Amino acid sequence: MRRVINSNALRVALSEQGWTQKQLASAIGVSAQSVTNWLKGKEFPRPASLLKLATTLKLNFDQLVVTEDEGRPIVAFRKKAGAKTTSAHINKAEAVGMLLKPLVPHLQELQALRTLITSPSTDYHKLQIVAAQTRTRLGIGERAVLEYEHLIGEFKDCGAVQVPVLWGTKKRHENALHIRLPQEDVTFIFLNLDTRIEDFKFWMTHELAHVYTPDLSGCNEGEDFADAFAGALLFPQACAELSYRQVIDTTVDGEIAILQKHAADHQISLNTVYQQIKFYAQAMGLSDLKAEETTIHAVRNSDYGSLVSEALFDPMPPEPKRYIAACEHVFQSDFFNALKRMLHESGTGASYVQQVLDISVQDAYALYEELRH
């Protein structure tokens, strides 16, 4: 075991103070690279720097330093603009990760040979190469609509267990949760079905990026790459190029109407289409779009699409049997089968179901009764 900086606590403290890593480095008199290395666990601060770090961020030693444990779950939350991931979010997710450990032996044997992106980059051209390779592997063309069903088997092939959940309306960054158990070499991905299809597809592609880059899980670089990968995979260069040619000579209103049509055709958000066209234009040295980003967000937020749960289950909410069947057959997830085996073999109670799925006691008991049959 070795001591490392608690990267999650440090990032939360930076966010609360509105500081960048570079500003922190300047405040304590070290290089920006040193701070990066602390966050990645490559280096540990000297005593004088550690003291300055603690006093500057107003963190005590127990908050700032952790003893690295190979068995500790690695948690990744998707970043989302003003939605802050707090230490409470991290602690809760790590607790769920510890609860998942006893479930692992009950899972079916997972794929050992997995797809990895060895040199992840947010560079536009490099991202497009990765997106094209991924689409080829999924068996879809460069302009084809990427459905979330295309991604399901890829998670399974990469040793990731999907856990579709019905969490109701959540803040956006709480609709997906990535928990990797490095010691067991298993990743669990919780995806909230009570979200709009365009958001759900983005979260799935974002989580797939984490699966492809396990060494970046839980760090800012990993979140940045995952967001960039998701946009490129959902609306790649071929789509952005076509859209740009259609909008370049139109008015702002005409531009937005064309972007809305592409978003509807691909079942992705208007903002994803807008951002990918902007990235394309910047990479190619072309003039920017006319519409302002604030306008795009306003238009996007006024258009509410259907929820994934509503498309899967009619009526809502589904009975436990239908919900479990959808997890198994639609999402190819062994989660509930493993949970059923665990309940029968170890006598685990309904409280375990409630805690690991983060659902109400009533819903947990209903699932428990169904699984115990």
Q: Would you state the pLDDT for residue 132?
A: 97
Phi, psi of 208 (to 5 degrees): -65, -35
Q: What is the pLDDT of residues 349-366, one digit of tens each?
A: 999 999 999 999 999 999
Out of 86-95, 156-165, 242-251, least confident range: 86-95
Phi, psi of 61 (to 5 degrees): -60, -45
Residue with the two structure tokens 């509503």: 310
Residue 114 DSSP code: -
Classify the C-alpha dihedral 24-71-209-103 as positive or negative: negative
Look at 247 and 170; give whichever has higher pLDDT.
247
Q: Which two tokens stand for residue 29?
A: 């008199």
| Residue partners of 302: CB distance under 8 A and separation at least 6 | none
For 265-293, what is the mean pLDDT? 95
Percent of the chain with pLDDT over 90: 60
Q: Would you state the pLDDT for residue 229?
A: 97
Instruction: State the Cα angle at 24 between 21 and 27, rounded to 5°.
Output: 155
Q: Is the model's pLDDT at 31 over the cut of 70?
A: yes
Look at 373 and 120; give whichever has higher pLDDT.
120
Q: What is the pLDDT of residues 183-223, one digit of tens each?
A: 888 999 999 999 999 999 999 999 999 999 988 877 778 88
Q: Would you state the pLDDT for residue 70?
A: 64
- Please, which pLDDT band fits residue 58 given cuts at 50, 70 and 90? confident
Radius of gyration of the chain (CA): 22
| Residue partners of 32: CB distance under 8 A and separation at least 6 | 21, 22, 25
Q: Is the peptide bond before 236 cis (omega within 30 degrees of 0)?
A: no
Q: What is the pLDDT of residues 315-326, one digit of tens each?
A: 999 999 999 999
The total number of residues written for the chain in this structure? 373
CATH class of 2-68: mainly alpha
Distance CA 54, CA 339 (A): 42
Q: Which two tokens stand for residue 52?
A: 């300055």
Give the mean pLDDT of the chain.
89
Instruction: State the Cα angle at 155 between 151 and 161, rounded to 5°.
Output: 130
Q: Which of 199, 204, 192 shows the shortest CA–CA distance to 271?
A: 199
Instruction: Tell me the domain boundaries of the chain.
Output: 2-68, 72-234+303-373, 237-302
Q: What is the pLDDT of residues 112-145, one digit of tens each?
A: 778 899 889 999 999 999 999 999 999 999 999 9
Residue 126 carries which side chain, given as an amino acid letter? K
Distance CA 271, CA 202 (A): 11
Distance CA 102, CA 234 (A): 36
For 51-61, what is the mean pLDDT? 88
- Please, which pLDDT band fits residue 234 given cuts at 50, 70 and 90? very high
Q: Would you state the pLDDT for residue 306?
A: 83
Q: Is the model's pLDDT at 279 over the cut of 70?
A: yes
Chain center to CA of 87: 17
**Pairs from 70-74 (Cβ < 8 Å, separation ≥ 24):** 70/182, 70/183, 71/101, 71/181, 71/182, 71/183, 72/182, 73/97, 73/98, 73/100, 73/179, 73/180, 73/181, 74/179, 74/180, 74/181, 74/182, 74/217, 74/218
